[in-house]
Amino acid sequence: MTGPVAVTGVGLLTPGGEDADATWETVRLGARTAAAHDPALAGLPVDFSCHVPLSRDELDRRVGRAAWRMSRNAVLAVLAAREAVRDAGLDPRTWDGDRVAVVIGCGLGADEVREEQGGRLEERGAGLVSALTVPQMIPNMAAGEVSIDLGARGPGLACATACASGATAVAVARDLLAAGRCDIAVAGATEAAVTRLTTAGFWRAGVLSRRVDAPAAASRPFAPDRDGFVMAEGAGMLVLERRADAFARGARARALLVGCGSTSDAYHPTAPAPDGRGAEAALRSALADAGLSPHDVDHVNAHGTSTRANDAGEAALIARVLPHRPSVTAPKGVLGHGLGAAGAVEAALTVLTLQHGTVPPVANLDAEAPGSGIDCVTEEPRRQDVRVAVSHSFGFGGHNVVLALARA
């Protein structure tokens, strides 16, 4: 147990909104999936997805002159990080950049660059491939661009644990603070991988919803008729500080990060271990790290992908380890699956749940999941005095990460 870390800033740019407040309001209402038919996916068996509500031109104008060299996922990361830093009441012009770390997860890197430049190579030859292809494409560049933008010269790290990447980044940042390697950490994740190749690949893997006639009803975590997830993009960032440091500068703590747990299933490249042992170990490890017992948990922000195997295994895990039935929500019902960004976005939403005392409902779930043994919030947001919450993230490769957060 390393002691609590204060979450002093939150930044979000998601299909639910262009900042944290707008995203929270969309998720809080939880009416439907923010999905629509995507012209870029026309002709594919699954032709819908969830995008942030800003065009690339609008995103670039917000970033400024440096946007010309950035991939879409780097642009999303920079904007979410700026919001988180502002929210924390920090000014990069005056902080000691040597003591600021940046840790950003990303599952696939700049997939749109890989697809676009690969097509240009085949159609027009090597001479017309962009000189920026490699620096835009590599998955660490979102962390690099955020560090450059903020003047953060402390540890700069990129985490890739598939759909657990965002949660992994937050956990690594917490460890850097605990080890004294930095005084401020900007941690989170970004993803902009809604491309034809990636969508086709997930479709072939059998994990995408095929509700092409009803995209807004396609992401259905824990529903009996769920049939897969919806591709999405977005970014989520947190500013983390040691609680004593935050208190000393008079900062407001939105919540406390009190524990982290990470394990591997060591079972299969894509399927979760059927006994759920690895995920359970991650949950128990996060609680032990926080000095908490399972019965201390009031709320679970579930990974909840809307795939049959994931939701069944996660529901069984929650019912087994947390039999007192804490409230459960699953933001992917509204936002779709942001892949590598999902864990950071959901950690940020868990912070907001703690702060506001409100649990968002699971979109497209009309009643408690039959036979699941868990208490999914449905139809309307639930007012609840949430003191301790856990956020689950599980990724291809068998990566399991759980974050434990507490009300400040």
Q: Which residues are catalytic?
A: 163, 303, 337
Regarding beta strands 327-329 and 299-301, do their DSSP bridges make them parallel or antiparallel, or are they unpaired?
parallel
Instruction: In whole angstroms, give the CA distance from residue 243 to residue 253.
Output: 8
Instruction: In whole angstroms, give the CA distance from residue 149 to residue 302.
Output: 32
Which tokens belong to 187?
Answer: 């941690």
Instruction: For residue 265, give the H/E element and its range.
Output: none
Contacting residues for 141 by C-beta, under 8 A, at least 6 apart: 70, 71, 74, 109, 110, 135
Measured torsion, CA atoms of residues 396, 198, 25, 90, in degrees rounded to the nearest 10: 80
DSSP conformational letter for 344: H
SS3 assignment for 80-138: HHHHHHHHCCCCCCCCCHHHEEEEEECCCCCHHHHHHHHHHHHHHCHHHCCCCHHHHHC
